[in-house]
Structure 1
Amino acid sequence: MKKWLGSSGVCINQDGQLLMVLQGRPAENKTWSIPSGGKEQEETFEECCIREVKEETGYTVEVVEKLKVKQRTYEQINVAVEAHYFLVKVVGGKRNFQDPDNLIYDIAWKDVRVNLPRRPRIS
């Protein structure tokens, strides 16, 4: 079974907004997600996270803490996935498309507050 290793950067600004990228292959529907990508052989997971955020958004970040490791096996395509998630903060750079894979279509700070339906008042 082939194994894919990667990292993702969760970056929240002072206004509580999450850094996200609109991505997808040319023929696919595009979706918003956090910056992420595959680990290169000589990298640590932290270095991968920092590189991917820089490539996809233009921002330089530093890792604040490791959040979780997500593992999943996709039997139908014979691939095991291990993704490391890190909380990061912006320390430099500016919003800029630098994606070498040409899969990024937009970069934005998105409001992540959930609008839950109001519960009816009971008198």
Structure 2
Amino acid sequence: MSFRLAAYAVCIEDGRVLLARHVSPVGESTWTLPGGRVEHGEDPFDAVIREVAEETGFSAAADRLLGVDSRVIPAAEARAGVEHQNVGVFYRVHITGGRLRPEPNGEIAESVWTKIADVTALRRSSLVDTGLSLAEALPATGHVDPVPVGGLIRH
């Protein structure tokens, strides 16, 4: 089983959420939250700010920890073909500066502000739904029920 620790930004302003369009090496496009792998020795709190800057061009500040999500992706559905566990640390962030742009030499083709009501019509990662659910519920445990994958929702 492979393993990844990642940090994700939930940035909501004026009824819109900041989303990033990830394009896989085979050209498949999926909307997700800005964020990604926590580097060896890096604090997830620092990683989420770094990832927002890398993927969107924005500077950001973390407002609060929203929660932690752990999911196991079966080998048949995982990119590398082996069972994979992703542990995601979700933060509520706000933008402090910068200018929106695609990720240079990366897998994020664009980032956009999207009305929250429009998210359900997008082909998206389950991370989007998890992050929005955490931001809405603010559960004391920092945990929400897993988001079912299928239809427009992907791992």
Q: TM-score, normalised by structure 1?
A: 0.82
Shift of 1:99: 4.0
What are the residue-to-residue correspondences of 1:98-113 with 2, within 5 Å? 98-100=103-105, 102-113=106-117
Aligned mates of 1:81, 1:98 — CA distance in 2: 22
Aligned mates of 2:35, 2:20 — CA distance in 1: 9
5+ residue gaps in structure 2? 76-81, 119-155
Q: What is residue 40 of structure 1 aligned with on the other side?
A: 39
Higher normalized helix content (fraction of residues): 2
Q: Structure 1 residue aligned with 2:90, among 68, 85, 95?
A: 85
Shift of 1:24: 1.6
TM-superposition CA deviations, 1:14-42 (whole Å, max 9, x none): x2210111112142321111112111012
Does the C-alpha gap of structure 1 residues 99 and 43 become closer, same or farther in structure 2, counting only changes over 3 Å? farther
CA RMSD after TM alignment: 1.9
Shift of 1:75: 5.0
Matched, 1:22 2:27: no
Q: TM-score, normalised by structure 2?
A: 0.66
Does the C-alpha gap of structure 1 residues 8 and 99 become closer, same or farther in structure 2, counting only changes over 3 Å? farther
Shift of 1:73: 2.4
Which one is further off, 46-55 or 25-34?
25-34
Q: What is residue 49 of structure 1 aligned with on the other side?
A: 48
Q: Which of these two proteins has the greater Rg computed from alpha carbons?
A: 1
TM-superposition CA deviations, 1:20-74 (whole Å, max 9, x none): 1111214232111111211101211111111111100000111101111001223
Query: Which residue identity is paired with 1:66?
Result: L
Q: What is residue 96 of structure 1 aligned with on the other side?
A: 101
Shift of 1:2: 3.1
5+ residue gaps in structure 1? 115-123
